[in-house]
Structure 1
């Protein structure tokens, strides 16, 4: 397929997403199943246009004067593919599968508009209703932070130190452009793709099948490292999900002590069993029933709450979620977080840590949630987060922010990671 056919397909997928309000991955999968003639390269390029259009929906639509699937599809190529109006029209001309060329009206709109003159929320590529949330979270830099969440993400890997070291994994992935991560000591990063490129399928690598590494954003790796699990501890990962942080904690403990991986939704835990077998993490016990947690009450050195949240920190990877999010959903997540924190605290032993993590950038889910928890429950005090950070990641103080309400925040513009929040509360003796 030429660029015109790929753009037309991307517009078709964007129309489907808008009409049926469905996740982008589902829409792309269905398009591929109904257009089997499209090769892997075509599907990757179409996916790139769709994801770019959703990441840059506000700015792409603003440049062309409307936010239709056609406008944001064209806008994605102009903003992210180094195309100009003239080069794009030239590339589409004569292609019977291409959408109509940029019209005189569209060309005029583009000629009269500069993105630098757009309203702040447009430059940040966020919904209008999220503007006060970003301003509260980031202050004067909120537009830059929003824009960073609209860029293409890298592919991050965590070396499994139970099986390999970073030099060994880097040697195995030498052809992928991988390099050592900026902050995480066991992290490896493959840079964001350009144009119609695609990330290598690292999970097909023999090194992955041998358990040498896991795919995990560097921010998630940092959060796990900050938790401070060491050999011999008793740790509860209360919202373990697929087990990414569980495995990182287990490796940090060098398979000594015990880590209990729990999630209220059994289906979310399903992938953890294969991951444990492949990685040879041997100190993990998976628990799904509340009754199995009862003996742990008051005995855990660390209780990690990787709380369900809006996922606003992951908008680079899931840009469609940005446009589906509502205030009602945010309020629902806040209620769930409070309930989970109240339940998780009972398992922390005197002197132990309650660690709260989200992949959200909103204060409402982060510092404000912790402040509300401390108002409800005495006996939990925040650790010195600056000292904690400097002890784990010396020389990288500028890569994080200590919030006014405490805790550590990471973000694409600041740390080059997904957006994460980390707060450790020590229970009084």
Structure 2
């Protein structure tokens, strides 16, 4: 097993982890133009996001086990190739219904890079090395949905909304070429598992029954969902509440990106110096303080204003990126023989929840800065409670193991 990640591989894995989340909301600045061309209402436009997320969630259950059975490399290359073709379809679409179809096709394959990249990292590296690498890659994974609308707005300035999807197709093509050229196969034939539906379902059921899966999955999901609530509400928050234009999404996303960068950098620097659990607990301390500041700001300001209404979001992002890599490592280590499947199931839980969040919850909370702040705070508290449940479970296991070891001596 390798000790030090190769720089070129790190960049490639980061790109693979980034393209699925990046495609979630690159099109946000183009919502008014697309709606006007196709005569679509706000609900129909919001479904371009939720349909993508549902497809991404369902197929996320397949990507990991496929890579466990066939190898990591063919799954990644196939997924990137289909994503590129689907992006071309979005660029050439002729109605809102056809856009939904190609967005669903994008979603079915976008998770291949993100999910399998995490399994590749855990295949190749261990200990503080994998925590640092996971932190660096997770930084790009988490900033992708935040950075995407800004890039979409810049592309929109250069041409019409279809150029955004041509940009995604170009990026997919570059990743495809890089994967064919440089992506190693980290899961050799002797370690592969047969792909059987009964075994697949049974493996997932075993994971779902594992008492520590749900606390870790819920903690990771809720943390990112607190940020995703703002990401998926970006058109309403930036244009409707902050009264800014399509090219000014940066007022929301620059603080988020900076916070995620700082959090991931801290996570990488702390790897090997303090324990994984201490890193996660520190992250929750930051998130809880940020949630309190966010709610207070929304209460004090009758109308949201920059920069005060976005600074707590940036602070919150630090805590998210500080804790997320370590939560992922803890979860994958619970299932050493099924890391691909565990990565898939974690992604499925997160994506299904975020699809509901984007398609339903956002409709009710995005019209008020206070409602958004309370929603994000609630998600953070639920994640913190799940983390404390996991800590309680591990302490109980340690006590049981200590008791079992002492029993023969008695």
TM-score (norm 2): 0.29
Bigger radius of gyration among the two = 1
TM-score (norm 1): 0.28
